[in-house]
């Protein structure tokens, strides 16, 4: 089978397209023929080995798993002896990062717990784009953010994969949503449920007069004390990612901020594939639309990762695994 392979950390252009043997399956695994996958921040970091701290997770000197990719949709081709949740022919999708990587491939053998049944109403490309960003958005807003109807919510990095889904969930729950992102995305972001939009290059949202009940941040890049300026009493600041040094500051100061300022700061630790049924239902009733900025074919995974890392994508960047490869 064809895979995208990395022998070492380095520029995306050094990724290899390689032919390897189709994997066998263990008792608790399923063999999936992959139809679509999606690009995530993990891929951009894992291929380049940057930030260096991530190498503690991905492998110190070279990647432990040489095939990147952590989201997929596809069809089950074979099942292990003890698999109970799926049968051959089932359509599935999911964020597999709790069980390893390797979705930039024609096939993957993976623990049955890593995936979910794919509803027929979701196209393969949509399903591949849902689980990771959807999980970040839902768990950030709901589980940690305790989102309520009437809340004023600000989403920083609001035009990315997580932000586009989060804005629509917040809308559905009856909140007012402000999004911060690059100028080129702002108009389109309004079509995905943002009531107000802010250009991060011209406006520092932490200097606004407006106060928010909840800030959801995909790009934490300021001192935690800056965010206090724009939080209402009992406000919540939830970060899903950003600069490592700033995230460490959030960890370090959050108890103190709670004690002195009575505001909640938290860092999300994503639980892969949690509560996807809720998001599937929102899609089915028309309350949630997935934004797929660009769809690349499997031959162009390196270009897709480079595009994700450098370009101005709105929503998700997806790979279609057509079998001409």
Ligand X SMILES: NC(=O)c1ccc[n+]([C@@H]2O[C@H](COP(=O)([O-])OP(=O)(O)OC[C@H]3O[C@@H](n4cnc5c(N)ncnc54)[C@H](OP(=O)(O)O)[C@@H]3O)[C@@H](O)[C@H]2O)c1
Q: Which residues form the interface with ligand X (CB under 6 A)?
A: 41-42, 133, 136, 156-157, 159-163, 180-182, 200, 218-219, 221, 240-242, 268-270, 312
Q: How do strand 29-38 and strand 16-19 relate by DSSP bridges?
A: unpaired
Question: CB-wise, 162 or 197, nearer to ligand X?
Answer: 162
Q: How far apart are CB 220 and ligand X at their closest, in Å?
A: 8
* Euclidean distance between the first and the last CA atom of the chain, given in angstroms as a whole number: 9
* Identity of the residue, 76 or 283, whose beta carbon is nearer to ligand X in the bound complex: 283
Smallest separation, CB 65 to ligand X (Å): 16
Q: Please report how close the Cβ of residue 21 comes to ligand X at its closest, in angstroms.
A: 30
From residue 65, alpha-carbon distances to 4, 40, 43, 104 in Å are 11, 16, 12, 12
Nearer to ligand X among residue 83 and residue 129 (C-beta): 129
Which residues, in sequence order, are CB contacts of 153 under 8 Å at separation 6+? 141, 145, 147, 170, 175, 176, 177, 178, 212, 213, 214, 215, 216
Residues facing 62 on adjacent strands: none
- Pick 68 or 161: Cβ nearer ligand X: 161
d(CA 187, CA 179): 11
For ligand X, which is the closer residue by CB, 4 or 136?
136
Which residues make beta-bridge pairs with 181?
199
Distance CA(31)–CA(25), nearest Å, equals 6
User: Which spans in 106-236 are helix H?
Assistant: 124-138, 161-172, 186-191, 224-228
The C-alpha R_g of the chain, in whole angstroms, comes to: 20
Minimum gap (Å) between residue 286 Cβ and ligand X: 22
Instruction: Give me the least distance between CB of 40 and ligand X, in Å please.
Output: 6
Asked whether the beta carbons of 31 and 107 are under 8 A apart, the reply is yes
Q: How far is the CB of 79 from ligand X (least distance, A)?
A: 28
Which residue of this chain has its Cβ atom nearest to ligand X in the complex? 160
Residue 257: half-sphere exposure toward Cβ, Cα within 13 Å = 23
> Which residue's CB is nearer to ligand X, number 111 or number 221?
221
Nearest distance from C-beta of residue 44 to ligand X, angstroms? 8
In the complex, least distance from residue 103 CB atom to ligand X, rounded to whole angstroms: 15
Joined tokens for residue 134: 């959807």
If the CB atoms of residues 21 and 201 are measured against ligand X, the closer one turns out to be 201
The residue among 173 and 222 lying less far from ligand X, judged by its C-beta, is 222
Kindly tell me the sign of the dihedral angle through the C-alpha atoms of 15, 64, 18, 308: negative
């Amino acid at each position: 089978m064809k895979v995208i392979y990395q022998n070492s950390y380095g520029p995306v252009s050094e990724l290899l397209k390689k032919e390897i043997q189709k994997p066998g399956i263990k008792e608790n695994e399923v063999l999936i023929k992959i139809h679509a996958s999606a690009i995530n921040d993990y891929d951009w970091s894992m291929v380049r080995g940057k930030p260096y701290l991530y190498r503690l997770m991905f492998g110190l000197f070279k990647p432990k798993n040489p095939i990147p990719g952590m989201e997929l949709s596809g069809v089950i081709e074979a099942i292990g002896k003890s698999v109970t949740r799926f049968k051959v022919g089932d359509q599935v999708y999911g964020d597999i990062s709790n069980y390893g990587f390797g979705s930039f491939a024609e096939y993957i053998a993976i623990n049955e717990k890593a995936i979910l049944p794919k509803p027929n109403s979701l196209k393969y490309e949509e399903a591949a784009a849902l689980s990771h960003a959807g999980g970040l958005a839902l768990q950030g807003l709901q589980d940690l953010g305790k989102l309520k109807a009437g809340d004023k919510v600000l989403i920083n990095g609001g035009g990315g994969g997580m932000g586009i889904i989060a804005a629509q969930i917040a809308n559905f729950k009856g909140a007012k949503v402000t999004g911060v992102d690059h100028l080129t995305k702002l108009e389109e972001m309004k079509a995905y449920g943002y009531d107000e939009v802010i250009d991060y290059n011209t406006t520092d949202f932490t200097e606004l007069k407006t106060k928010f009940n909840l800030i959801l941040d995909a790009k934490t890049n300021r001192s935690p004390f800056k965010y206090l300026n724009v939080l209402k009493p009992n406000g919540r600041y939830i970060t899903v990612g950003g600069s490592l040094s700033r995230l460490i500051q959030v960890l370090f100061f959050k108890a103190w901020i709670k004690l002195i300022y009575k505001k909640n700061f938290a860092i999300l630790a994503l639980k892969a594939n949690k509560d996807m049924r809720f998001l599937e239902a929102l899609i089915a009733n028309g309350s949630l639309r997935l934004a797929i900025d660009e769809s690349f074919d499997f031959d162009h995974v390196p270009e897709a990762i480079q595009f994700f890392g450098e370009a101005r994508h709105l929503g998700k960047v997806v790979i279609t695994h057509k079998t001409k490869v």
